[in-house]
Every structure is written in structure tokens, then in C-alpha cells.
Amino acid sequence: MKKIAVFTSGGDSPGMNACIRSVVRTGIFHGLEVYGIYHGYEGMIEGDIKRMYSHSVSNIVQRGGTILKSARSTEFRTPEGRKKAYDNLKALGIEGLVAIGGDGTFTGAKVFYEEYGIPTVGCPGTIDNDIYGTDYTIGFDTAVNTALEAIDKIRDTAAAHDRIFFVEVMGRDAGFIAVESGIGGGAEFVMVPETETKIDQVVKSLKNLRKTKSSSIIVVAEGHSLGSAEEIMKLVKEQIKDPSKEFKVTTLGHIQRGGKPTARDRVLASRCGMAAVEGLLQGKTNCMAGVMKMEVVYTPFADCIGKPKPLIADHIKLIDILSI
């Protein structure tokens, strides 16, 4: 293998740049020519591909976003789109790919590998932490810390006014950001898609808490089956029926996707990037390089996207115990 290419795809996450840097420099270290594909699969289809050098990735390890840009491509879902992408890679002599992204990225990479056979190794880049085969994904730690900082600030004003705040965090269908920011931020209640929560439970818990606490924070994962934080707040408010109590909603949104990556994300990203390139050189393909129990592991894309990643049971227990 002499030429490889790297790209980022799907929702960006803090630490993607550190991962790109690691892929480029590990590739160069092993004597490879490394190319960057811009705008994910869209750039593969358009031929937006440029040679990368060691200096191309200088001064990016600390930056959020992705210097290669990202996109969610609908054209790549079609056989015609993938054929164009293959032709562009073939014309440049690209013999290996590193795909940095989440389950959508790996779904595309798996189909592409099965159709065209270009060896591909993935790195888990998403704030959601919803990828099987790695304890944490690149960007998750930063997103949790961003949410936590916001929750700490909300706590100040919630306490000052004796208010009940519903804070909505990202995570798509997964509750990892909600759980970890909830534990760290001392949330009174955390609502996640993985477990069924009835409005009655929230109301009962808030009524009990009112005996000891004058303000509360409920962290709501955006994928909750009862709806958005705004909708859930309205349902709770209707049942509490206390005009003296004030309810507020804060949706944290995309601020969770930006910002300087934490040390943990930079190290994870750098490890995964190195492991992806070295995996390709060892003949690995159609799999993701992740880190489990401190060790690098390679997991088939089929498992990364197909197997569920449950929340940590102790985390759920902790929230219940610590909120009494």
C-alpha cells in the first residue's frame, strides 16, 4: 500500500482534527502518500481530494470542527454516486481509506468496501458515543464538558429564582451525553431514550424534591420518546398545577459540537488515527479502530453499526442515589 486517503463525514465532533493529524503523520511516518478528501463522501464523488503533508496538519490538534469539512451525502447512497467516488479514487491510485465519523459514515464505508474492495478502517468520530466497539467516541468527552459547563451556569440562576429547568442535550437516539452531564452537573432527574420514563415519575420526583430543594434541573436527551424538553416541560407543568412554580427550558444544541477538544478526546483521536493507518498496513479492513479498556481494538463495521451500546448501569443507579 502506497497511497491512502482520509475523510470526515456526518456530524463533526471535537477531536476530528487531532485524528486527521494522526492519520496524516502516521501515514507519512510509514512512507505512505496521504490524501485528504474534502466534505466527506460528497468530496469523494466530486473529486475534491488533495495531497496532505506533515505541515498540512500543523496547528490543528487543539481546534474543534474538521479542516477536511464534513457533510451528509445523499448521492453516496446511490450506486451511481459510489461508482463516481470509486473512479476518482482509482484515478489517484488510492489503495486505502480512513473514514472518521459515526454510524452513517460506517454504513457507507461498509457498502463501498463490499462493492469496490478498497480497504477501509474507521475511527469513531461523533459526540453521541453511540458506536459499539469503543468505550468512548471522539468528541464525546468535549461535548459532555460543554453541556456540564452550561448546566453549572443554569444551576446558579435556577437556584437564585427557585426555578425548575429542563435542559435538552444532544445525542440523537442515545442518552450518553445526558447521563454523564447529568451525573457531573448533579441533575435531579435525567431522561434518556434507552429507558422508559413516565411523566408521573418526573412529577412525583419533583414533588418529593420540593420538600428539600427549591430548584431542580432535569436533563432531557433529545431523542426521548415523550418529545423535546419543551414538550416534556409542558406535560409536567400541567400536572404539577402550582402557579407559584416557574418552569424554564434551555436547549443546548450545536454548541455541544464545537470548541477545543479535551485532552481525553485529543489522545483518543490520536490513538485511533494511528491504529487505523497501522491496521490498514496490517491488512485490516471493513472495521473500526476503537479503544476498549485502554487497548486498541478493531471491530467489524457490521458490529459497530448493528450492535447496541447500552448505557452503563451504574451510571443510572448513581443518578437515582445522588438526587435524593
Q: Give min distance, CB of 143 to ligand F6P, in A.
A: 8
Cα(208)–Cα(151) distance, rounded to whole angstroms?
22
To the nearest 10°, report the CA torsion of 119, 123, 126, 131. Answer: 80
Nearest to 285 by CA among 136, 53, 120: 120
Q: Which helix (H) or strand (E) holds 83?
A: helix 79-92
Considering only the C-alpha atoms of the chain, give the largest distance between any 2 of them, rounded to a whole number of Å.
70
The count of other CB atoms within 10 Å of the CB of residue 61 is 18
Structural contact between residues 52 and 36, judged by C-beta atoms closer than 8 angstroms = yes
171 binds ligand F6P (CB under 6 A): yes
What string marks each residue from 220 to 239 as x (binds ligand F6P by CB under 6 A) or -? --x-----------------
Q: CB nearer to ligand F6P: give 35 or 41.
A: 41
Q: CB nearer to ligand F6P: give 30 or 260.
A: 260
Nearest to 264 by CA among 97, 117, 110, 144: 144
127 binds ligand F6P (CB under 6 A): yes
Residues 4-63 that bind ligand F6P (CB under 6 A): 11
Q: Give min distance, CB of 127 to ligand F6P, in A.
A: 5
Q: From 168-176, 230-238, 244-252, 288-296, give the range in contact with ligand F6P by CB under 6 A.
A: 168-176
Q: Residues 128, 130, 141, 265: which is the catalytic one?
A: 128
Q: Which helix (H) or strand (E) holds 249?
A: strand 247-251
- 162 labelled catalytic: no
Q: CB nearer to ligand F6P: give 155 or 257.
A: 257
Q: How many residues bind ligand F6P (CB under 6 A)?
A: 10
Structural contact between residues 97 and 6, judged by C-beta atoms closer than 8 angstroms = yes
Task: Enumerate binding residues for ligand F6P (CB under 6 A).
Answer: 11, 102, 126-128, 170-172, 222, 257
* Residues classed as catalytic: 128
